[in-house]
Amino acid sequence: MAERVYPADSPPESGQFSGNFSSGEFPKKPAPPPATYVIQVPKDQIYRRPPPENAHRLQYLSRKKVNRSRCRCCICSILAAIFILIVLAGISLTVLYLVFRPEAPKYSVEGFSVSGINLTSPSPISPKFNVTVRSRNGNGKIGIYYEKGSTVDIYYNDVDLCNGALPVFYQPANNVTMVKTALTGSRIQLTSAMRKEMRNELSKKTMPFKVKIKAPVKIKVGSVKTWTITVKVNCDVTVDKLTAPSRIVSTKCSHDVDLW
């Protein structure tokens, strides 16, 4: 328990007191100022370490601080590695582009014949189309693998008349390939208004169709093949009649590429 003590008096300066020391008379100590205390704590109660009840909490907080520091270091290292990989990938792609100068293939419809469409009967139709697609690969050092899983569809307005697929083939660099594909449709029901519209177009020898192609391909650069890329080709084709052979009046194609 703490004890109450008064502060010790400072020694008197020389000549401060004029009492008679020989007779045993000494000056009285001045009274301490009111409300002045000195607290003495026993040495065994001075804690240089946390008391037992707080030791666990201190250990927990210290461990938490260390773990947080390590976590921050790990996150910084991961972000730095990702940034370096992105920079290296960008440099590699730039070098490849400058070396190979890749350009997208060009497509056009060169042949188009129709059969199986009767516009005078209300019965469902089962049309057949034979389409020849011209693919030009103008790259000097890049080949193209056309894989399985392609689709070719022919539409009139928004009606899907028939479907088919491109053959599997490899197109080398600086090459033009003519690809023929047969497409069929089964029991397609046309409305009376659509039949009338088609007869009107046929009388003007301007029957419009839309050809849509989706082809999974892989690009060959040197001895390396890329992942599968999807090429999408949309062609507007106008023919003069619905018989075989049909003459192409006009054609216009556009294409797009899905890299992933």
Mean pLDDT value across residues 22-32:
56
What is the Cα–Cα distance from 19 to 26, expressed in whole angstroms? 6
pLDDT in tens, 4-16: 444 555 455 544 4
What is the Cα–Cα distance from 194 to 197, expressed in whole angstroms? 5
Q: Which pLDDT does position 163 carry in this prediction?
A: 96
Domain boundary among 65, 100, 135: 100
Same domain, 128 and 243: yes
Q: Which pLDDT does position 230 carry in this prediction?
A: 95
Q: Which of 23-37, 48-62, 180-194 has the highest mean pLDDT?
A: 180-194
Q: Which pLDDT does position 87 carry in this prediction?
A: 81
What is the enclosing helix (H) or strand (E) of 210?
A: strand 207-221
- Measured between its terminal Cα atoms, the distance across the chain in Å is 79
Contact in structure between 228 and 215 (CB atoms under 8 Å): no
Q: Which pLDDT does position 45 carry in this prediction?
A: 54
- The two three-digit tokens of residue 2, written as one number: 């703490």
Same domain, 95 and 117: no
Same domain, 240 and 204: yes
What is the Cα–Cα distance from 25 to 167, expressed in whole angstroms? 131
Same domain, 77 and 181: no
195 occurs within a structural domain: yes
Contact in structure between 226 and 247 (CB atoms under 8 Å): no
Q: Which of 241, 208, 245, 256 is nearest to 107 (CA)?
A: 256
pLDDT in tens, 62-120: 565 556 666 777 788 888 888 888 887 776 666 555 445 568 899 999 999 999 999 98
Residue 142 has pLDDT above 70, yes or no: yes
216 to 34, 68, 184: CA distances (angstroms): 98, 48, 21
Overall number of domains in the chain = 2
28 occurs within a structural domain: no
SS3 94: helix
Q: Which pLDDT does position 211 carry in this prediction?
A: 97
Contact in structure between 135 and 177 (CB atoms under 8 Å): yes
Distance between alpha carbon 187 and the CA centroid of its chain, in Å?
Answer: 42
8 occurs within a structural domain: no
- The range of the structural domain enclosing residue 81 comes to 50-100
10 occurs within a structural domain: no
pLDDT > 90 fraction of the chain, expressed in percent and rounded: 52
pLDDT in tens, 161-175: 999 999 999 999 999
**CATH number for the domain harbouring residue 175:** 2.60.40
Mean pLDDT value across residues 153-182:
96
Q: Which pLDDT does position 223 carry in this prediction?
A: 83
Same domain, 55 and 79: yes
pLDDT in tens, 196-224: 999 999 999 999 999 999 999 999 988 88
pLDDT > 70 fraction of the chain, expressed in percent and rounded: 68
What backbone torsions phi and psi does residue 89 show, to the nearest 5 degrees? Answer: -65, -40
Same domain, 152 and 86: no
Same domain, 110 and 162: yes
- The two three-digit tokens of residue 182, written as one number: 């047969």
Q: In this structure, what DSSP letter does residue 188 have?
A: B
